[in-house]
Structure 1
């Protein structure tokens, strides 16, 4: 009985702090196909391409590359990137920005583009291994800014048995601390976006869902491509018992969203997402 109570309490703490949602089902009967005529952008937390051996499958890194090249996005934002994959991507993507610098001990991010990258930068998050970066990309006689975000992890193993075996007070304390860091990071991103004069695309692993203050802070007036053209739950994280959406593509109002796709390819603990959009024509 005591163990059952601990399991229920631990699970409740996690769900209230992280997975609590009201209705988040997109009542579309069919998602709009990704348009090959429009700008295609993908976001993918690739979990280091398995460089740290989280899986015994040694082919995962190559399979991720094969998947990306087959789907052929014009721009892809990797979170938890591995620099050893640069040569494989360079054949299809002439322009790239990998951050942070080699000397900085943070999770690596990669932005790869078929269009020229004319400026880059990093939004440094203090006291964390997480990070954010951006690239200004020349596209159709215009400039667009692409943000690549990887916000603070909650450091929760996505398994209910593991969660239930941890003391609820410790679990709650760790999640609360991570939430605070996430919110601080979201405000940094929000302020940076406000100072940006270009058309904006935000990709990334927010490590929080679409009903969080973190998401709302970053989203502001941006469009969520899943809300515009997605279907069903839009799961992006491999939590065994619950369809969680924590990876997003957000775009400014100058873009017309034409398609959104959630993939069910299990090569990481995250699932990739891709969206297509074109520039609105001013009448």
Structure 2
């Protein structure tokens, strides 16, 4: 009987060792995700993948911690200690409570919305989708709307559809079918001046508008940073039709790494431009990056995040893999404060529109 017990103990050794290895690897991955926000992807992209997968890595460590505690493993403290800092990042993804009020001032209701070229719903033409979005915006009535991936076959329809917004600024590129696409900012307040920040070899861009808001000049940056050049649905289809899944994953990660590097250069150029602005700036748009990223960390310097200040519930702005991906943002100066942040789950794009009421003292 004793020999059998020894044999049973020995048979558990491979499982025990494998579990310890998994525990330490998962803890290390979580540690890398924490520091990824400080690393410029131009220098190294490897840590940024861990930031991209932050939520799955956290959940993996929680599962490992539960198993370790149930089995009374002494190494459970390693996972426990590594999970503690994740509490500091929790409000990047989920938020509860009421906003902290600041000085009294005028409310600026702003919306950022990547409309995906109006091509996300099958069976609906781009023009019909544009009309649906225009009606939706008319019903919501924000003061300023920043559109990304806005498409128009004929740009003259913009003023007709958004007639309640007399001030308009855009920078468009020529689309393959002869139409135009790019960033569009529409405003109920006067756009006194504006310009663009373009990026070499990319149709992603940032436009900025200097707006006269009750006699105070505010600069609005409408931003669309480099995407990963492949959608989640496209990835699933390619992997399901491929006999070599590992090759598909490697190929996708190479493209994501390239996007990380481009985005790193783009966000640095925008940050430099913002630092030279003579006006307080609000930056919003599709950053194509999660809050656990170098992009978010750089643009948040001296700024507040409308979701972290006044949001409720989950923060996701991208319809696929909801509620994991928040890639659309509204950031504003620390002297301002937001009384509301709402992400509306409407079906007009693969992104959801983000609204925020910002109080400007």
User: Shorter-chain-normalised TM-score: which range?
Assistant: 0.7 to 0.9
Size of the alignment, in residue pairs?
A: 261
Please name the residue that 2:215 is paired with: 141
TM-score (structure 1 length as normaliser): 0.84
Q: Give the Cα separation in 2 of the matches to 1:182 and 1:119.
A: 26
| CA displacement at 1:77 relative to structure 2 | 0.3
Please point out which of 34, 38, 48 is paired with 2:107. 38
Please name the residue that 1:251 is paired with: 332
Please point out which of 88, 96, 100 is paired with 1:28. 96
| CA displacement at 1:240 relative to structure 2 | 3.4
Q: How does 1:1-283 map to 2 (within 5 A)?
A: 16=50, 18-21=52-55, 22=86, 23=90, 24-28=92-96, 38-50=107-119, 55-58=122-125, 59-83=128-152, 84=155, 85-100=157-172, 107-159=181-233, 161-162=236-237, 164=239, 165=245, 167-240=248-321, 242-280=323-361
Greater shift in the superposed pair: 233-242 or 23-32: 23-32
Q: Kindly indicate whether the alpha-carbon contact (under 8 Å) linking 1:77 and 1:203 is maintained by their aligned counterparts in 2.
A: yes
| CA displacement at 1:106 relative to structure 2 | 8.4
| CA displacement at 1:98 relative to structure 2 | 1.0
Q: Kindly indicate whether the alpha-carbon contact (under 8 Å) linking 1:31 and 1:260 is maintained by their aligned counterparts in 2.
A: no
Q: Give the Cα separation in 2 of the matches to 1:138 and 1:89.
A: 23
Other structure's SS at 2:124 match: coil
TM-score (structure 2 length as normaliser): 0.67
Greater shift in the superposed pair: 209-218 or 53-62: 53-62
Give CA deviations for 1:227-256 in whole Å, capped at 9, x if unaligned. Answer: 000012211111136531000000012312
Q: Kindly indicate whether the alpha-carbon contact (under 8 Å) linking 1:93 and 1:113 is maintained by their aligned counterparts in 2.
A: yes
Please name the residue that 1:9 is paired with: none
Structure possessing the higher relative contact order (Cα contacts under 8 Å, 6 or more residues apart): 1
| CA displacement at 1:54 relative to structure 2 | 5.6
Q: Which runs of 5+ in 2 are unaligned?
A: 1-45, 56-85, 101-105, 240-244
Q: Which runs of 5+ in 1 are unaligned?
A: 1-12
Structure 2 CA distance for partners of 1:31 and 1:272, relative to 1, 3 Å: farther
User: Aligned-residue CA RMSD in angstroms?
Assistant: 2.6
Q: Kindly indicate whether the alpha-carbon contact (under 8 Å) linking 2:190 and 2:211 is maintained by their aligned counterparts in 1.
A: yes
Other structure's SS at 1:149 match: strand
Q: Give the Cα separation in 1 of the matches to 2:51 and 2:297.
A: 16
Q: Give the Cα separation in 2 of the matches to 1:81 and 1:158.
A: 21
Greater shift in the superposed pair: 40-49 or 154-163: 154-163
Give CA deviations for 1:170-208 in whole Å, capped at 9, x if unaligned. Answer: 111111000000010000110000001111111110000
Query: Which protein has the larger Cα radius of gyration, Structure 1 or Structure 2?
Result: 2
Q: Kindly indicate whether the alpha-carbon contact (under 8 Å) linking 1:236 and 1:245 is maintained by their aligned counterparts in 2.
A: yes
Which structure's residues are more often helix, by fraction? 2
Q: Give the Cα separation in 1 of the matches to 2:49 and 2:276.
A: 35
